[in-house]
């Protein structure tokens, strides 16, 4: 039996959608990747305490282990603290960005989203593949240490997304 045949037997089927869902098929894995990608949360405590959906610490630890095993994220010791680790997206994780953009676009179209929490999805949808590529390049620099291909001019994509979110929140506060 070849290694590829053995690997195929470890999964329910060789369907690419099935295989992707075996890696990312629960909401917590997607939320963790979202928080790393869009919120730049890289430590366990940040992922736990700054998570709006209220992930439990045992679930977070389990999903981090799974994402590490699937090479979607990596982990290294934090030089600033002996007991902390820094989690980073791998290339495999960074390339999920277009999928997140499409999930966000679908959610904006079909679900009762809030303006504040959907503004980033709206901007990613409007910016399309060129914006996604720019953001992925920034993520590669942050998470993989890859030098950018283009010189930086102005705020990063994450900074622009955050500013749009803060503008919506500020308008909501001013209106009340």
Q: For residue range 26-67, list pLDDT tens digits in order.
A: 899 999 999 999 999 999 999 999 888 999 999 999 999 999
CA–CA dist 102, 95 (Å, integer):
13
157 and 125 both lie in a single domain: yes
Between 149 and 169, the more confident residue is 169
CA–CA dist 104, 120 (Å, integer):
8
In a domain, 83, yes or no: yes
170 pLDDT band, cuts 50/70/90, is very high
In a domain, 24, yes or no: yes
The conformation of residue 149, written as its DSSP 8-state character, comes to: S
Asked which of 90, 106, 123 is the last residue of a domain, the reply is: 90
The predicted pLDDT at position 128 comes to 98
For residue 59, the domain's CATH number is: 1.10.10.10
- Supply the range of the domain harboring residue 140: 96-176
100 and 175 both lie in a single domain: yes
CA–CA dist 134, 132 (Å, integer):
5
Q: Is the pLDDT of residue 176 over 60?
A: no
CA–CA dist 112, 130 (Å, integer):
27
Q: How many domains are there within the chain?
A: 2
60 and 81 both lie in a single domain: yes
In a domain, 78, yes or no: yes
**Taking a C-beta distance cutoff of 8 angstroms, is the pair 73, 67 a contact?**
yes
Q: Is the pLDDT of residue 8 over 80?
A: no
3 pLDDT band, cuts 50/70/90, is low
Q: For residue range 70-82, list pLDDT tens digits in order.
A: 999 999 998 888 8
Asked which of 90, 107, 123 is the last residue of a domain, the reply is: 90
Q: For residue range 108-163, list pLDDT tens digits in order.
A: 999 999 999 999 999 999 999 999 999 999 999 999 999 877 777 899 999 999 99
In a domain, 168, yes or no: yes
Phi, psi of 88 (to 5 degrees): -135, 150
160 and 105 both lie in a single domain: yes
The predicted pLDDT at position 6 comes to 54
73 and 101 both lie in a single domain: no
Asked which of 90, 108, 136 is the last residue of a domain, the reply is: 90
Q: For residue range 93-108, list pLDDT tens digits in order.
A: 999 999 999 999 999 9
107 and 174 both lie in a single domain: yes
CA–CA dist 162, 153 (Å, integer):
17
Cα 8 from chain centre: 27
């Amino acid at each position: 039996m070849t290694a590829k045949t053995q690997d195929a037997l470890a999964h329910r089927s060789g369907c690419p959608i099935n295989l992707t869902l075996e890696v990312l098929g629960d909401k917590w894995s997607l939320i963790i990747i979202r928080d790393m990608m869009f919120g730049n949360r890289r430590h366990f405590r940040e992922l736990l305490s700054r998570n709006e959906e209220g992930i439990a610490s045992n679930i977070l630890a389990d999903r981090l282990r799974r994402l590490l095993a699937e090479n979607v994220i990596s982990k290294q010791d934090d030089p600033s603290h002996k007991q902390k680790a820094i989690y980073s997206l791998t290339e495999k994780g960074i390339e999920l960005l277009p999928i997140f953009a499409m999930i966000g676009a679908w959610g904006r179209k079909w679900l009762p989203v809030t303006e504040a929490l959907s503004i980033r999805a709206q901007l990613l949808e409007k910016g399309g593949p060129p914006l996604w590529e720019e953001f992925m390049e920034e993520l590669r620099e942050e998470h993989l240490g890859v030098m950018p291909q283009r010189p930086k001019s102005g705020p990063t994509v994450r900074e622009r997304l955050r500013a749009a979110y803060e503008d919506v929140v500020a308008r909501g506060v001013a209106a009340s």
